[in-house]
Amino acid sequence: MGMTQIPNLTLNDGHTIPQLGFGVFQVPPEDTARITGQAFEAGYRHIDTAEMYGNEKGVGEAIRSSGIPRDELFITSKLNNGFHEPDAARKAFDQTMSDLGLDQIDLFLIHWPLPTKYDGDFVSTWKTLIEFQQDGRARSIGVSNFQPAHLERLAAETDVVPAVNQIEVHPYFTNETARAASRDAGILVEAWSPIAQGGVLDDPTIVKIAEHVGRTPAQVTLRWHLQRGDIVFPKSSTPERMAENAALFDFELDDQAIESISSLDRGEDGRTGPNPDEFDYIPS
């Protein structure tokens, strides 16, 4: 299927990340080992999970039973919202490592900035992730759902620039302001919900381009992300779609197709998820 062609991008800390991975948001915990195992069989080597998804143990099980050498895998997880205070973050990170069964994680992120919680202090949380990197248990560290102002604050108050910012990006919400702020600071963008959870797949513009290049709407949309330089990890629970979503390296979109897809942006109305400036959910 040509998975060997998945490009590696270089992070600002010198480590590399496969530009295409597999996301496990909304994969039920009891199905996660099986579905992640199928993703490995389909050729994916980069997995995006989170404490919030409740399925890190399943990912760990799939890693162990895959027999794939650890250094061929790239595993990301994220700090859950209830654990931003340094001591809570340390305990939560210990739990993540134990649930995944790993000594080192490739990338660990602050899942949401929660600017209206913890007196707006996500800086001490970031400093705690810096500890995890310094003690060697997190190879790379980054953030998720950080707005430009949040990135500026980390830059002003700490010495470590996040390796990635994982934010909502898809044709209906191109999120250019947060993308540009990230890229200008040397932070790679990871585009979450890259096909808007399926919501862009019957868009007439995307369908037309797909027909023209002889590909599916999902493939065209994912290819649009890749050519813009972002990292993607589409989620699917079926092996057919896992394969479809990975067959992206034997065709190209021309500039005009890229432009037409980018022009589908609906601004704030295009979001499928919450606005990070307001989101304050803490699991009970």
- Return the active site residues: 53
- What token pair was written down for 81? 């919202």
Question: Contacting ligand NAP (CB under 6 A), which of 95, 237, 249, 265?
Answer: 237
- What token pair was written down for 188? 């790679």
Question: Contacting ligand NAP (CB under 6 A), which of 95, 124, 197, 227?
Answer: 197
Q: Does 79 bind ligand NAP (CB under 6 A)?
A: no
> Alpha-carbon torsion 167, 273, 233, 171, what sign?
negative
**CA atoms within a 13 Å half-sphere pointing along the CA-CB vector of 169:** 32
Question: Contacting ligand NAP (CB under 6 A), which of 195, 209, 248, 253?
Answer: 195
Q: Does 279 bind ligand NAP (CB under 6 A)?
A: no
CB 262 within 8 A of CB 200: no
CA angle 197-199-201, nearest 5°?
A: 105
Tell me which stretch binds ligand NAP (CB under 6 A): 67-75, 80-88, 205-213, 238-246. Answer: 238-246
Amino acid at 36: T
Cα gap 125→274, rounded to integer Å: 21
Other CB atoms within 10 Å distance of the CB of residue 213: 15
Other CB atoms within 10 Å distance of the CB of residue 245: 25
Tell me which stretch binds ligand NAP (CB under 6 A): 61-69, 124-132, 134-142, 240-248. Answer: 240-248
Nearer to ligand NAP, 134 or 274 (CB): 274
What are the backbone dihedrals phi and psi of residue 105, each rounded to the nearest 5 degrees, phi first?
Answer: -105, 145
Nearer to ligand NAP, 38 or 145 (CB): 145
Question: Contacting ligand NAP (CB under 6 A), which of 18, 43, 234, 270?
Answer: 234
Cα gap 163→169, rounded to integer Å: 17
Q: Does 162 bind ligand NAP (CB under 6 A)?
A: no
Tell me which stretch binds ligand NAP (CB under 6 A): 19-27, 67-75, 133-141, 151-159. Answer: 19-27
Q: Does 245 bind ligand NAP (CB under 6 A)?
A: yes
Question: Contacting ligand NAP (CB under 6 A), which of 100, 102, 218, 261?
Answer: 218
Cα gap 48→231, rounded to integer Å: 11
Q: Does 270 bind ligand NAP (CB under 6 A)?
A: no
Q: Does 23 bind ligand NAP (CB under 6 A)?
A: yes
| DSSP structure class, residue 70 | G
Q: Does 192 bind ligand NAP (CB under 6 A)?
A: yes
Q: Does 29 bind ligand NAP (CB under 6 A)?
A: no
By CB under 6 A, the count of residues binding ligand NAP is 27
Residue list 93-122, contact with ligand NAP (CB under 6 A): 111
Cα gap 261→172, rounded to integer Å: 9
Cα gap 201→61, rounded to integer Å: 32
Work out how close the CB of 193 gets to ligand NAP at its nearest, in angstroms, rounded to a whole number.
4
Cα gap 46→74, rounded to integer Å: 4
Question: Contacting ligand NAP (CB under 6 A), which of 113, 171, 194, 270?
Answer: 194
- What token pair was written down for 18? 């496969």
Residues lying near ligand NAP in the complex (CB under 6 A) are found at 23-25, 48, 111, 144-145, 166, 192-198, 201, 218, 233-238, 241, 244-245, 273
